[in-house]
Structure 1
Amino acid sequence: MDVIQEVSVVGPRQFRNNDVAIGAGNEFWTACRSNGLAGIVANLTGDGMLEDPDGFRFLNLSCCSYLDLDSHPQIIEGAIEALRKYGVLDHCISRIRIQLPMLLELEEALGGLFDARVVSAISASAATAGVLPLLASGHLTRGERPLMIFDKFAHFSMNLFKPVCADETTVLTCPNNDLNFIEDQCKRNHKVAYVTDGTFSMGGHADVAGLLELQDRYGLFLYFDDSHSLSVAGSRGEGYVRSQIASLSDDTIIVATLNKAFGSSGGAIMLPKSRTDMEDILTRFGGPLAWSQPMNTAAVGASLASAQLHDSPELKLRQSQLDANILRFDAQVLTPQRGNGFPIKVVPVANTRVVSCAQELLRRGYYVSPVFFPIVPRSQAGLRVMLRSGLSPAAVDHLCKSIIDVVGQDVEVKHDQDATVQ
């Protein structure tokens, strides 16, 4: 007689729910498009402005190039020079088989800047896709599968891999920056890994000091995506998290994009210098890290040029200009991020007004992106302002005056922890 085995079925929609995300988000995206706030076509004019086909000029306050390095002549020339030297845009072969010497030169330069062992990737998202499943399976924690905790506000690029990680280990979600939740799980489980942003895409940052204490006490593995603070923070542009850590322990990985303030293209994975095994595992079995899609030649050349700028006085000059613009904005406009020293500010606006307010600001010459559920929790709609070093003091002042004129300062600043499907 055949033995019937019981099958345990988990799901569906244990870790993601497209019906909710699309159902809630489509209304706002449709409103944005119909009001000229999405799908905009415009050219860069060379003076920091954008111009649409009708000749309307405006300033983009939704750009992640916080230090305005993406248009730096040295970085552009670095990309062109690399293309001329190697004569190929994309050397399409897995790096574990053949790699251009320039790629190793870049990883060595980044390793020097960030005081870490660095593995490059075509993007930070590709790095995440490669690292997280291997972390879940225990191959980055010396064979021990950790319980994985994702911060509720972890970026979509990380949350996307919850189901994949859950196929290897137990996955939990904790409230934003809830150290008590994390410590409780550390007491209950022998090995725990925590996945979070270093600096969140809607402003604010992880409690690095508190997390390091938990790491010292319980061996907590820390995985940070610190894309929004790379180049912005740290004496060599190493980012907020790396600048808070004396040296990367065996239980820490930091991922960051090179596309934002760094001013080039690609991604960087900062590994502890002591863990030579991690690099082999990632480049052999890390999904897109092992496929035939390394950083293309232009991206590597641009990144090398940016690394040189990061090792020069120009970095500090641009950081100081950005800091001054952040202080200037914070002195005039009330946001939950006031005083945190980072360039992302979300001006609270009611759901019913957020699109019309953004439309009016654009009419006045400022493109500020409206954010709404599921990008942010339902009760935290607003206008996301992304400040840059190249903005003049007069431009910041006029932007602030325009925001106050359009939005007013009568909206309560909220800090609640509503669920979000990022």
Structure 2
Amino acid sequence: MAGGINKLTDTAVKAKREPGYYGDGGGLWLQVSRLGGKSWVFRFTRNGRTREMGLGAFISVSLKRARDKAADCRRILDEGGDPIEVRKAERRALELERARSKTFRECAELLLNKKAGKLKNPKHKAQWRSTLETYAYPLLGDKPVSSITADDVRQVLEPIWKTKHETARRVRSRIKNVFDHAKGVHLFQGDNPAAWTGGLEHQLDEVKADRRNQPALPHPQVGEFMAELRKRDGMAAKALEFAILCASRSGEVRGATWDEIDLKARLWVIPAHRMKSRKPERGPHRVPLSDAAVKLLEGLQRVKGSPYVFPAAKGGMLSDMSLSAVTRRMHADRLKAGKAGWVDRSSGDPVVPHGFRSTFRDWCAERGYDRDMAEIALAHVVGNAVERAYLRTDMMQRRANLMQDWANYCANLAKPSNVVAISEAVGQ
């Protein structure tokens, strides 16, 4: 057997120039390519199939090292294994070990880069990054993802779980997404430490959602409120007025861009991706504009370089607190003047911008307007899945009349009668 191996010498190997294979014995071969390159190959037969396995280039693997590698391959064969499959498994294990050293921050950045092309709303992109930077990175950022446990995630969430529950809920969801993505690209194995069911649900107290209605102004007072609102300068006041006239959400108004507005058609078309929980298949939400809404828009001065209808001072989007600040100041000014503040009739709390959607809805109900039409005006889902499959209209013309009636009502300072006129209640 000794004469069957170690046939080559270092001098002979260096001297080989002709392309071909030169055997050293025991399955080890020196391969010389047509271009003069030299490499080591191990040939073996397993299950009736002859295979070749590269052992490295001669320039980096010496004859002695090549023989050692060939000996390892023969040992694997003697034990019933496949040298090629064993090496693949070793490489996978090495790659996984390297991957396991990836930090949470590195994995999060990979996900953020992927989401950058999917999240069309700049605000959503900023929220994703800011919540991770503010709450997750300080404790998890520099830890290898493989070492992070559910207890680590709990420590991130616990300080804000009750005081800022909605924020905490979003942070947990985003941390979970980071681990889901890391697992999908083979940077993490095992159960997701941010999973709620069967995981964090046993470590964090249940927090009941606050189901209280948003403080809303009784609709008989809306005319007086609008009169005072229109005396105020500032883009936030204009945005609030427009939101009330259109019965729209604050975020939809603050994010409105001029390319969504068609003044000639008296129409505002809000893309589906900017609507709360609106699925793409439902399409955009069309808002008919009343005379007052059109007049308000025509009176606005466009800010160069800004796409927003109601931009902030530097051209960006108004903050989510800007409209709320207007209602708070108006309430405070009423109290200073010795008048009753702008408050919700039931709770006694000062009104908030979102509450005016309830004001509009109450007015629709008391004036006898069609329920589905009012719900569509608020961009709510109408009916069950079967009903929605058959209800293809968004009642655009009727809603145009509805929004004009609402705008007229908002401009009326006289105390409305409790009696509904027949002409208003019939045919609406």
- The reply to whether TM is greater than 0.5 is no
More strand by share: 1
TM-score normalised by the shorter chain: which range applies? under 0.3
TM-score, with length taken from structure 1: 0.22
Larger radius of gyration: 2
